[in-house]
Chains A and B, each alone.
Chain A
Amino acid sequence: DAKTTQPNSMESNEEEPVHLPCNHSTISGTDYIHWYRQLPSQGPEYVIHGLTSNVNNRMASLAIAEDRKSSTLILHRATLRDAAVYYCILRLAISGNTPLVFGKGTRLSVIA
């Protein structure tokens, strides 16, 4: 699997937007970009995924660079409940639900 690079930690003020970066310079044309997050004392949960176009859902937005070598997860208004470790993961488009390969992720702290 292609590798991703994320900052170890980030901090945000409550109710402000958060931009979580992910670099994946060795991404292949068939890799989807997935984001999961892990809240304290819980299992990981799916956030969003995309291939080339920017994606929006009720939890977040995913902005993908034109060359696909980087992406940014955007939380539009951070709340205290968004404090978690965020994982950026690449998966083959035809993976058919193969295992996720987790890196160290970015630990997001949200300050009230």
Chain B
Amino acid sequence: DARVTQTPRHKVTEMGQEVTMRCQPILGHNTVFWYRQTMMQGLELLAYFRNRAPLDDSGMPKDRFSAEMPDATLATLKIQPSEPRDSAVYFCASALRGGETQYFGPGTRLLVL
């Protein structure tokens, strides 16, 4: 049963620290999305990649967030420096070329103190 995996599942850190979240998309999926969910804003897109190339990262605060795909099996989302307002659940999703369905990971719950 192929699934999107995310690590860590939970992260508590202090303001100013670097946070790295990792995502392993489903093997063979060529599109990867990063979403963030908060109570106030709901689910919103941060960035997405197709064939490892960034297509849209307009949802990310550029000064502190960065997203990369070092290879086809790994996507990373980094926050440096982290701030309390970054506290949220971060979801990664992947999709197959030509497919209409996105498959979401379990999320990383981040708390910045």
Contact = CB atoms under 8 A, between A and B. Distances in A.
A104 B42 contact: yes
Contacts of B48: 99
B65 interface: no
A49 B99 CA distance: 12
B33 A99 contact: yes
Given A43-B93, A44-B91, A46-B101, A102 B106 contact: no
A91 interface: yes
Interface of B: 4, 31, 33, 35, 42-45, 48, 50, 56, 91, 93, 95-107
A46 B102 contact: yes
A12 B68 CA distance: 43
13 contacts: A42-B106, A42-B107, A43-B93, A44-B102, A45-B103, A45-B104, A95-B100, A97-B50, A97-B95, A97-B98, A99-B33, A99-B48, A100-B102
A97 B102 contact: yes
A46 B99 CA distance: 12
A80 B4 CA distance: 25
B91 A43 contact: yes
A86 interface: no
A91 B95 CA distance: 15
Contacts of A34: 100
B104 A97 contact: no
Contact of A96 (B93, B98, B101, B103): B98
Which 4 A/B pairs are nearest by Cβ-Cβ distance? A43-B104, A102-B43, A97-B95, A99-B45
B42 A103 contact: yes
B18 to A, nearest CB: 24
B99 A97 contact: yes
Contacts of B4: 43
